[in-house]
Homo-oligomer: A and B are copies of this chain.
Amino acid sequence: MNEHLPSWHDTPARQTILKFVAATLERSGQSFVPPADRIATFDNDGTLWCEKPTYPQFIFAMQRLKQLAEEWPELGDQPAYKAALEGDLEYFTRLYPEEIPVLMKILFDTHAGMPQSEFDGMAAAFLSDALHPRFGVPFKQCTYKPMVELLYHLQASDFKVYIASAGGMSFVRSVSEEIYDIPRENVIGSSISFEVDRQSDKLVLLRKPGLIEPLDEGPGKPINIELHVGRPPILAVGNSNGDIEMLEFAASDEMPNLSLLLHHDDAEREYAYDEGAERALQLADDRGWTVVSMKEDFSKVFDF
């Protein structure tokens, strides 16, 4: 029976997921969960879409720096702008997580200073037009087909499905309805600050340098889920150390719950890396979280 999750092999991981979801729907069963409590939260980078060779948002920032340096050539003297002009992707991948102040300046230079509606258009255009360097398709197509099938299966099962991204909330929202069928308000993430401005008597939200605390990473994930949802997830899905607290948050609940960790072990079809996921993989083992292997569990990775 392969009607749900057709891009998954019929492995124990797939069966665990399908059984869990089916049990939450079974009104007379011990594992029934009322719809209001059927909350699922998904990390985005590396869980729903490809985060290699680096985060799509870094490539967006690089493209923005290049545009800015072309407009104001004097900026080209600064290392980040110079690297962007030269297409030196390595420069950007080296920054995280060691050089946060440099990254912050890049973030503020490229993501702030414009009205929110304008940024939304810029992010959507980037994700639609810029091509993934290895796969040659737009970044917004680099989503994992089996994971998107899981989103849809949960939505069809009256789960409220949220994204909890360490990356930019506005960046992901710009395409979330189109690529995941997840409405903007169900995307939680890190965010730049805002200020209220007025243009010809109309209120405008301007993006400004600064970050909304807490960032949506590590302990910030359960805190932001509390702020945005007000309930712990009964299903949480992540792929890295930054998702540990979210996976723990799901498992902290007295209700039936499932924590899933996606393991990038398929160098052929995607990328194989444990870097940044070492503690999460260890905890999955210790706590009995379900590890999803891209290589073993996915019959298809992308939809292209």
Asked whether B252 lies within 8 Å of A196 as measured between CB atoms, the reply is no
Please report the C-alpha to C-alpha distance between residue A278 and residue B191 in the assembled complex, in whole angstroms: 34
Please report the C-alpha to C-alpha distance between residue A245 and residue B205 in the assembled complex, in whole angstroms: 11
Partner of A245, one of B177, B183, B203, B219: B203
Q: Which of A43-51, A144-152, A220-228, A296-304 lines the interface with chain B?
A: A220-228
Q: Which residues of B contact A116 (CB under 8 A)?
A: 226
Pairs A–B under 8 Å by Cβ, sample size 20: A36-B177, A36-B183, A185-B229, A185-B230, A187-B230, A191-B227, A194-B226, A194-B227, A195-B223, A196-B219, A196-B223, A198-B248, A202-B248, A202-B251, A202-B252, A203-B248, A203-B252, A212-B213, A213-B213, A228-B228
Q: Which residues of B contact A223 (CB under 8 A)?
A: 194-196, 205
Instruction: Assess A205 versus B231: contact at CB under 8 Å? Given A185-B160, A213-B212.
Output: no
Partner of A184, one of B184, B219, B222, B229: B229
Q: Which residues of B contact A252 (CB under 8 A)?
A: 202-204
Instruction: Assess A227 versus B169: contact at CB under 8 Å? Given A203-B248, A222-B205.
Output: yes
Interface centre among A173, A187, A248 (most CB of B within 10 A): A248
The contact string, 1 if C-beta is below 8 Å from chain B, for chain A 171-209, is 001000100000111010001001110100011110000
Tell me the A residues contacting B by CB distance below 8 Å.
Answer: 36, 116, 160, 169-170, 173, 177, 183-185, 187, 191, 194-196, 198, 202-205, 212-213, 219, 222-223, 226-231, 245, 248-249, 251-252
Interface centre among A183, A195, A230, A231 (most CB of B within 10 A): A230
Instruction: Assess A196 versus B231: contact at CB under 8 Å? Given A177-B36, A203-B222.
Output: no
Asked whether A196 lies within 8 Å of B226 as measured between CB atoms, the reply is no
Closest chain B residue, CB of each to CB of A160: B185
Q: Which residues of B contact A231 (CB under 8 A)?
A: 184-185
Closest chain B residue, CB of each to CB of A187: B230
Q: Which residues of B contact A248 (CB under 8 A)?
A: 198, 202-203
Q: Which residues of B contact A173 (CB under 8 A)?
A: 230
10 nearest A-B pairs in the assembled complex, by CB-CB distance: A184-B230, A196-B219, A203-B248, A203-B252, A202-B252, A194-B223, A185-B229, A173-B230, A203-B249, A205-B226
Partner of A219, one of B169, B183, B195: B195
Please report the C-alpha to C-alpha distance between residue A222 and residue B205 in the assembled complex, in whole angstroms: 8
Q: Which residues of B contact A196 (CB under 8 A)?
A: 219, 222-223, 245
Closest chain B residue, CB of each to CB of A196: B219
Min C-beta distance of A93 to chain B, whole Å: 29
Please report the C-alpha to C-alpha distance between residue A185 and residue B36 in the assembled complex, in whole angstroms: 10
